[in-house]
């Protein structure tokens, strides 16, 4: 079971890294610096919070990195993806309420 959970955590982390890179890059190219800053802020906040409390989902799943803090940073990126999902959900609710 833990290997399945680890695969999901890795998949979400990789997806997060790719999506952040794409969205920040596109926003910067378009001159939409507020969007880029919001995305970068979500990553930074997730990483800082995980560093502050020592959260490391990879370590909890038995994965060790040569550089000990890498797991905590990746956990922060993993955690920051949740903020995007919640933000998207709130935007959808706002658009539905705005239409009604």
Number of structural domains the chain divides into: 1
- Asked if the model's pLDDT at residue 84 lies above 70, the reply is no
Whether 100 shows a pLDDT value over 60: the answer reads no
pTM of the model: 0.72
Q: From the CA atom positions of the chain, what is the Rg in Å?
A: 16
Sign for the CA dihedral angle at 44, 49, 50, 51 comes to positive
Q: 40-77, pLDDT tens digit by residue?
A: 998 999 999 999 999 998 999 889 999 989 999 999 98
Q: What is the domain extent for residue 74?
A: 2-99
What confidence tens digit (pLDDT) does each residue in 85-98 have? 666 656 766 777 76
């Amino acid at each position: 079971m833990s290997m399945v959970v680890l695969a999901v955590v890795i998949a979400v982390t990789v997806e997060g890294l790719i999506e952040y890179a794409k969205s920040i890059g596109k926003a910067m190219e378009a001159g939409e610096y507020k969007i880029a800053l919001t995305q970068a802020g979500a990553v930074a906040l997730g990483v800082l919070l995980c560093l502050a409390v020592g959260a490391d989902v990879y370590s909890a799943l038995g994965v060790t990195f040569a550089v000990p803090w890498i797991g905590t940073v990746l956990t922060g990126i993993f955690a920051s993806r949740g903020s995007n999902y919640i933000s998207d959900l709130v935007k959808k609710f706002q658009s539905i309420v705005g239409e009604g």
